[in-house]
Structure 1
Amino acid sequence: MAESITSRLRGNTTASGTAASPLSRWHYLVALALGALNTLSFAPTPHGGWLEIAIFAVLYAWLTRTTGWKSAALTGGAFGFGNLVTGVWWLYVSMHHYGGMPAPLAGAALVLFSLYLALYPAISAGLWSFCAGHAANGARNARPLRASRPFAPTWHGAFAFASAWAIGEWLRGTVFTGFPWLASGYAQVDGPLSGFAAIAGVYGVGWVLALTAALIVQSASAWFARPRRHAAVLLPAMAAIAVMGAGTALKRVAWTLPGNAPLTVRLLQGNVKQEMKFDEAGVLAALDLYERMITAHAADLIVTPETAIPLLPQQFPESFAQALRTFADNTDSSLLIGAFGATITPDGRYTDETNSFFGVTPGSRELYRYDKHHLVPFGEFVPWGFHWFVRLMNIPLGDLARGKPVQKAFMVHNQPIDVDVCYEDIFGEEIARTLREAAVPAGVLVNASNLAWFGNTIALDQHLQMARMRTLETGRPLIAATNTGTTAVIDPHGRVTARLAAFTTGQIEATVQGMTGRTPYITVGNNLVLAVSLVLIAFGFAFGPGRRGPRRN
């Protein structure tokens, strides 16, 4: 068997083929640093997708240095922890600065949460080790007096890595309501692989990313092997180039078409400080601010941020409600207003509070309502057994009720609008499901958020990047109204066409063209990437290297 570049650098086995020595701690520290570096692939880094491909190639090469599934899992876990603790550090801001949690406890919570999230890349790496035959190879190397058989990257290993990585990321975005923040595909919105989003979604883009990186390493490994076989070098290199070329070409495919007349929209950014948002003085100031901003001038659709008015509609001052209704009727403007909803019992009590949006349609007394379905753990609902943790923070309304998974669209001049609130737009499958199951699929996506909880951090740019991925997956424009940033308009191709500076008070005025039709991702959701990954993983377990009998060196 030809010696690979990674095996010559590894030195895990002796010349006589005795047991492989354990990896040093430096191996895992390098994986940790590599994960931290991968945070730079995501927003606000421009065109970070190219950097991510290079980082994943190094990660895959680093995995081939490991000696079995345990060291592979530890390597994947170290990479994941480095990536996530540096990528979601802004959770510390929400817990400590706005939630009032003591700094040491908030820091410890961030570390523990990142360690939990790191379990999923650890699972991916361990699963790859088994399916690629790497784990069996490590077991053989561990037997005394057996000839060393260093692991060389193969086609089998490349597809196993792609499939295991996609499954791990899907699990992270699903288990315990999911937290798919920083899923690897997001860094590709401006990268060469973004064209695959319309076919297989963000997890499919991550699958293609991992495959491309593994093929690059396979080609490089064959280049340094002795004797060098040109076919072994060229074929995986050409496959990697072809995949990137396909991703670029797919961007030009028009999966959806314009539908209905364009809409004029106004997106409002109140820039209300989080620390005063729920105070009585802050509520009164918000009522005055948004009444003036909404009624400034007409538009087909005017959108406020999430919980712009932190009251129930029944608690709105009569003058405020009447001013909005009169303005909508007189100017033919539709309004979407963020507030709280509730169920009113027969005895007049309010129960089952929800994070909601209420729509005012000109000429109609019917009030549209959308209730947030996918709630934020610890911020909007309290997982079982963690009420003690939430009590350490000063976050109001920490246990809300959920809306239905699929809710009706808001109609604006015959154009159906799909509403989602903040955290919900990082779950592409749920948005695709709404479009797939709706009686009248929406042509425009609307997201309203309050990211003031995270201060002036990279969370704002990361959230906008994920919203851009939703437009690539669905072939529809997305308009985002936020409290402190980033309020923006995104076209169906993922391009930001208008954006307000963060922590400023203002508005965006734009014209948005709704779209009709389905992308493949709307039709199949995550089922495609999951089916392909599971089939390849099963194939790896059944027929992979190490299960077909020993080979001669």
Structure 2
Amino acid sequence: MTHPSGIHRDVPAGLFAARWPALGIAVLGGVAAALGQAPFDLWWLALAGFVALCGLISVAAAPGRAALLAWVAGTAHFATALHWIVEPFFVDAERHGWMAPFALVLMAGGLALFWAVAGWIAARLVPNGESALRAIAFAAALTLSEAARGVLFTGFPWAQPGHILIDTPLLPLSALVGPLGLTALVLFTATALVVLVHRGRSRLAVAVFGAVAVGVGLLPAPSAPRPAADAPVVRLIQPNAPQHLKWRRDMIEVFFQRGLDLTATAPEGRAPDLVVWPETSLPQLLDRSDASRARIAQAAGAAPVVIGAQRFRDDRPVNSLALLGPDGRVQGVYDKHRLVPFGEYLPFGDRLADWGLRGLAEVLPGGYTPGEGPTTLDLGALGTAFPMICYEAIFPTDIRRVDTRPDWMLHITNDAWFGTFSGPYQHLALARLRAAEQGLPLLRAANTGISGVIDARGRVVAALPLGEAGALDVALPPALPPTLYARTGDVPILIVVLFAGLATIAAGRRRARH
């Protein structure tokens, strides 16, 4: 429509502008956005959910209203995407089960505050009537809020908008722009469709949405180079120890022996050059496990072994990854430096321990202590590996903190904590993202699954199914040259998004003055 001043104004979208249905649309939009995450991978439905959210914010009557709508959508999104967060509480249901609903509600509502801040900023800084510009400002603000969510309060960059593209042919774009760039791509695409609606071109918006959906589905995914004929062979061990049985006295030896049997299994081809066990696989403390390490060495033959273990460092327990030589001696150790809040440690843990409270994954008393930080592991003929333990694989920036680029990434984890539905699949998806954004292959040994080998394009080359015991022998895929994202990190995308947001806000204020 045309404003009395003669200046063109946006056409308000009736569905977006309706007051009472807006909260319902926010809930449905948040749920739809979450269904783009693994294992659903309905990225097109997630994009529609973000279109709905951007549209609601674009016509919100006041900043408080915009913040509320964004918070409601965010809460629905995180409650749907992260519903697996209740699983650890049911490992010992009698003791912790009552906490599960509170944990889900508090986590979903807390993470949604980042979305609320983005909604408030967009509505506060872009005046009413400038719906298209506000939608663009919201996309920029939400991208920056998601960047902050990845680092503040120890960071939790899980279930970001850009993650809906992991299982699409657009995953290789992460090599250029990283995960934050994928988030910007999703949100600004949703905003472009909202702008078309506000310009009175709803049919064109639907046509563009359909073209994007079809186009992405038809895009060819680039392939990674294949391993050389003489590439090292790595054996991944998946003992499949359910968490509620893993540390039961009568089952510890059962699972350890299962790991030994899988390690000693005769190979179909060449003998493995390295054997990898998952997180916390060693049944004793590392420095008190001479007998167990000797048994592992015997089972592995001439191959070195990487195994998840626990040990004390300076009288404090740590969650570690140990490299064992053919004689079973410890040749190298990496200590996990990113610990799971309320899982591996509790804030003010010493005081809370007096009340009988401790981390859910806490095996040793007092909670784990973080290691010194990311490093590389020299594996001789297999090159250098960048080790990650469980939760550490969700952080894209840690690898930039090591002095030299590794040849590949090594991830050991115990996803038995995450249940059998969505958590393990989302964790695997984030490992794929790490490989694609860095241009490095990633090998992953998971206690209950999914263990596998991911090439430098983020493609799963081979895997063991969730919930099955097994050993997987795979040739180590080659690395690609350092990607643009590996060299620059998130800085370029942050600058572009910040500039776009500030320019949009300035344009909105300028138009409002006229």
For the aligned pair, the TM-score class normalised by the smaller chain equals 0.7 to 0.9
1:314 to 277, 281, 287: 287
Q: Which is further off, 517-526 or 289-298?
A: 289-298
Residue 342 of structure 1: how far off its partner (Å): 1.9
TM-score relative to the length of structure 2: 0.87
Query: Which residue in the other structure is 1:204 paired with?
Result: 181
Q: Give the 5 Å matches for 1:486-501.
A: 486-501=450-465
Any conservation in 1 of the 2:296–2:328 contact (CA below 8 Å)? no
Any conservation in 1 of the 2:55–2:135 contact (CA below 8 Å)? no
Q: Does 1:29 align with 2:24?
A: yes
1:438 to 380, 386, 403: 403
Residue 448 of structure 1: how far off its partner (Å): 0.9
**Secondary structure of 2:508 counterpart:** coil
Q: Does 1:94 align with 2:88?
A: yes
Query: Which residue in the other structure is 2:508 paired with?
Result: 545
1:79 to 55, 66, 73: 73
Residue 294 of structure 1: how far off its partner (Å): 1.9
Distance 1:338 1:394, change over 3 A: closer
How far apart are the structure 2 equivalents of 1:28 and 1:277?
44
Q: Does 1:6 align with 2:12?
A: yes
Q: Does 1:341 align with 2:314?
A: no
1:417 to 385, 388, 391: 385
Query: Which residue in the other structure is 2:265 paired with?
Result: 296
Residue 242 of structure 1: how far off its partner (Å): 9.3
Query: Which residue in the other structure is 1:523 paired with?
Result: 487
Query: Which residue in the other structure is 1:429 paired with?
Result: 397
Unaligned 5+ residue runs, structure 2?
A: 3-7
Any conservation in 2 of the 1:301–1:412 contact (CA below 8 Å)? no
Q: Which is further off, 167-176 or 190-199?
A: 190-199
Residue 263 of structure 1: how far off its partner (Å): 2.1
Distance 1:153 1:68, change over 3 A: same
Any conservation in 2 of the 1:305–1:448 contact (CA below 8 Å)? yes
Q: Residue type matched to 1:66 in 2?
A: A
User: Kindly, what percent of the aligned residue pairs are identical?
Assistant: 28
Residue 533 of structure 1: how far off its partner (Å): 2.5
Q: Which is further off, 79-88 or 157-166?
A: 157-166
Residue 177 of structure 1: how far off its partner (Å): 0.6
Q: Residue type matched to 1:474 in 2?
A: Q
Query: Which residue in the other structure is 1:153 paired with?
Result: 132
TM-score relative to the length of structure 1: 0.82
Q: Which has the larger radius of gyration?
A: 1
Any conservation in 2 of the 1:489–1:497 contact (CA below 8 Å)? yes
Can you list the C-alpha shifts for 1:156-175, whole angstroms capped at 9, x where unaligned?
A: x4542332111111111111
Any conservation in 1 of the 2:308–2:321 contact (CA below 8 Å)? yes
Distance 1:83 1:239, change over 3 A: closer
Can you list the C-alpha shifts for 1:516-550, whole angstroms capped at 9, x where unaligned?
A: 53111111222222222333334445x23124553
Residue 259 of structure 1: how far off its partner (Å): 9.4
Q: Residue type matched to 2:12 in 1?
A: T
Distance 1:215 1:384, change over 3 A: same
Residue 121 of structure 1: how far off its partner (Å): 1.0
Unaligned 5+ residue runs, structure 1?
A: 13-22, 138-149, 345-350
Any conservation in 1 of the 2:456–2:478 contact (CA below 8 Å)? no
Q: Give the 5 Å matches for 1:111-190.
A: 111-131=105-125, 133=126, 136-137=127-128, 150-154=129-133, 157=134, 159-190=136-167
Q: Does 1:376 align with 2:349?
A: no
Query: Which residue in the other structure is 1:70 paired with?
Result: 64
Any conservation in 2 of the 1:306–1:339 contact (CA below 8 Å)? yes
How far apart are the structure 1 equivalents of 2:459 and 2:199?
39
How far apart are the structure 1 equivalents of 2:223 and 2:201?
39
How far apart are the structure 2 equivalents of 1:268 and 1:32?
42
Query: Which residue in the other structure is 2:371 paired with?
Result: 403
How far apart are the structure 1 equivalents of 2:165 and 2:29?
18
The CA RMSD over aligned residues, in Å, is: 3.2
Can you list the C-alpha shifts for 1:411-470, whole angstroms capped at 9, x where unaligned?
A: 141421111011000111113x14xx333x222211111111122221011111111111
How far apart are the structure 2 equivalents of 1:325 and 1:105?
42
Q: Residue type matched to 2:420 in 1?
A: N
How far apart are the structure 1 equivalents of 2:276 and 2:441?
15
Distance 1:10 1:484, change over 3 A: closer
Any conservation in 2 of the 1:197–1:472 contact (CA below 8 Å)? yes
Any conservation in 2 of the 1:7–1:152 contact (CA below 8 Å)? no
Distance 1:100 1:183, change over 3 A: farther
**Secondary structure of 1:471 counterpart:** helix
Can you list the C-alpha shifts for 1:131-167, whole angstroms capped at 9, x where unaligned?
A: 4x2xx22xxxxxxxxxxxx44314xx45423321111
Query: Which residue in the other structure is 2:5 paired with?
Result: none
How far apart are the structure 1 equivalents of 2:356 and 2:441?
39
How far apart are the structure 2 equivalents of 1:493 and 1:269?
24
Residue 270 of structure 1: how far off its partner (Å): 0.5
Any conservation in 2 of the 1:98–1:394 contact (CA below 8 Å)? no
How far apart are the structure 2 equivalents of 1:525 and 1:261?
33
Aligned length: 500
Q: Does 1:473 align with 2:437?
A: yes
How far apart are the structure 2 equivalents of 1:203 and 1:508?
33
Any conservation in 2 of the 1:261–1:514 contact (CA below 8 Å)? no
**Secondary structure of 1:337 counterpart:** strand
2:192 to 215, 230, 236: 215
How far apart are the structure 1 equivalents of 2:104 and 2:215?
39
How far apart are the structure 2 equivalents of 1:372 and 1:427?
13
How far apart are the structure 2 equivalents of 1:401 and 1:477?
29
Distance 1:239 1:84, change over 3 A: closer
Residue 99 of structure 1: how far off its partner (Å): 6.0
Q: Give the 5 Å matches for 1:257-268.
A: 262-268=231-237
Any conservation in 2 of the 1:451–1:482 contact (CA below 8 Å)? yes
